[in-house]
Amino acid sequence: MHFMTALRAAWQSRNSLLCVGLDPYPARFPAHLQGRPDAILEFCKGIVDATADLVCCFKPQIAYFAAQRAEDQLEDLIAHIHERHPDTPVILDAKRGDIGSTAAQYAVEAFERFRADAITVNPYMGRDSVEPYLEYADKGVILLCRTSNPGGSDLQFLDVGGGERLYERVARLVANDWNGSGNCGLVVGATFPNEIARVRHIVGDMPLLVPGIGAQGGDIAETMQAGGTAAGTGLMINSSRAILFAGSGEDYALAARRVALETRDAINANR
Ligand SMILES: O=C(O)c1cc(=O)[nH]c(=O)n1[C@@H]1O[C@H](COP(=O)(O)O)[C@@H](O)[C@H]1O
Q: How confident is the model at residue 71 (pLDDT cuts 50, 70, 90)?
A: very high
Mean of all residue pLDDT scores within the chain: 98
Residue 191, helix vs strand vs coil = coil
Query: Which residue from 148, 153, 241 has its CB within 8 A of the most atoms of ligand 1, so it is best to mutate?
Result: 148
User: Which pLDDT belongs to residue 92?
Assistant: 99
User: Which pLDDT belongs to residue 66?
Assistant: 98
> Can you tell me the ipTM of this complex?
0.99
User: Which pLDDT belongs to residue 113?
Assistant: 98
8 A C-beta contact, residue 143 and residue 119:
no
What is 231-260 written as a DSSP string?
A: TS--EEEEE-HHHHTS--STTHHHHHHHHH
Domains annotated for the chain, with CATH where assigned, are: 3-268 (3.20.20.70)
Q: How confident is the model at residue 135 (pLDDT cuts 50, 70, 90)?
A: very high
Mean pLDDT within 66-81? 98
Taking the CA of residue 228 as centre, how many other CA atoms within 13 Å lie in the half-sphere pointing to its CB? 19
Query: Which residue from 18, 19, 23, 57 has its CB within 8 A of the most atoms of ligand 1, so it is best to mutate?
Result: 23
Predicted TM-score (pTM) of this structure: 0.98
User: Which pLDDT belongs to residue 213?
Assistant: 97
Beta bridge partners of 163: none
Determine which residue's CA is closest to atom 11 belonging to ligand 1: 211
pLDDT digits (tens, 9 = 90+) for 14-58: 999 999 999 999 999 999 999 999 999 999 999 999 999 999 999
pLDDT digits (tens, 9 = 90+) for 147-189: 999 999 999 999 999 999 999 999 999 999 999 999 999 999 9
Helices (H), 135-251: 153-156, 166-173, 193-203, 220-227, 241-244
Mean pLDDT within 58-82? 98
Q: Which residues are catalytic?
A: 95
What is the rounded distance in angstroms from the CA atom of residue 42 to the CA atom of residue 18? 22
What is the rounded distance in angstroms from the CA atom of residue 219 to the CA atom of residue 86? 30
pLDDT digits (tens, 9 = 90+) for 229-241: 999 999 999 999 9
Q: For ligand 1, what atom is nearest to the CA of residue 64?
A: 22
Instruction: Report how far ligand 1's centroid is from the alpha carbon of 162 (Å).
Output: 31
What is the rounded distance in angstroms from the CA atom of residue 232 to the CA atom of residue 5? 16
